[in-house]
A and B are shown apart, each in its own frame.
Chain A
Amino acid sequence: MHTLHIISKSPGHTRFRECLGMMGEQDAILLTGNAVTALADSTITLPETVYALQEDLRARAIDPEQDISGQVTFDDMVSLTIQAQRVISW
């Protein structure tokens, strides 16, 4: 993984669109807070490597139908930020 993009904005926020548009091929995205609603939104197409914070999904009763790379805990989130060469929070 080159860059881990952490996004907390709702899919409707312009920054969500900007983030998806600027991702590199070896990048991964981690959805936190409002951003996890992207997994309940049938109009949003997400890139290949998507992680989402488990408790944010559970809180919102979102069970991702599409295969995502993983529902992650905060322990996993810490590991992801270390594995990435760079982290950008959107």
Chain B
Amino acid sequence: MHTLIVIDQPPYGSWGGRESLDMAFSLAAFDQPVSLLFIDAGVLWLKQGQEPGGINQKSVERNLAAASIFGVESLLADTAACHRFGLNEDNLINGVTRIDNTGATLQQYQHVAFSG
């Protein structure tokens, strides 16, 4: 059963997104198929050049870029949200698939979850 973990909150202002990643990486660690979907301001997790050292947090950019190595099948991002936040092939991290019909994508997964 393929799980889709959805992130709809921007990074660093709350811990929900980090805990969503933990869920995805845990499933992957147990060899369970899992993908991550970024919608709304959640797409900002996928922007290159994050430097959260000044707010005493660790960047998740490298973890996300290595998601496929950890066994996360795909990083999906809502195209309209990317457009809204000025994200394109020049400033998105590697390995992101943009999807136009997010509702239809959601229908394809038996298990869809948010971290909070």
**A residues near B, CB below 8 A?**
2-3, 14-15, 18, 21-24, 86, 88-90
| A86-B110 contact given A14-B8, A15-B8, A23-B103, CB 8 Å threshold | yes
Asked if A88 contacts B112 (CB within 8 A), the reply is yes
Instruction: For A3, list chain B residues within 8 Å (CB).
Output: 107
User: Which residues 1-55 of B sit at the A interface, judged by CB distance below 8 A?
Assistant: 8, 39-41
List 20 additional contacts besides A2-B107, A18-B39, A23-B103; criterion CB under 8 Å.
A3-B107, A14-B8, A14-B41, A15-B8, A15-B40, A15-B114, A18-B40, A21-B103, A22-B102, A22-B103, A22-B106, A24-B103, A24-B107, A86-B110, A86-B111, A88-B112, A88-B113, A89-B113, A89-B114, A90-B114
Asked if A14 contacts B103 (CB within 8 A), the reply is no
Instruction: For A89, list chain B residues within 8 Å (CB).
Output: 113-114
Name the residue on B nearest A13 (C-beta): B8
A-B contact pairs, 6 of them (CB 8 A): A15-B114, A18-B8, A18-B39, A22-B102, A22-B103, A86-B110
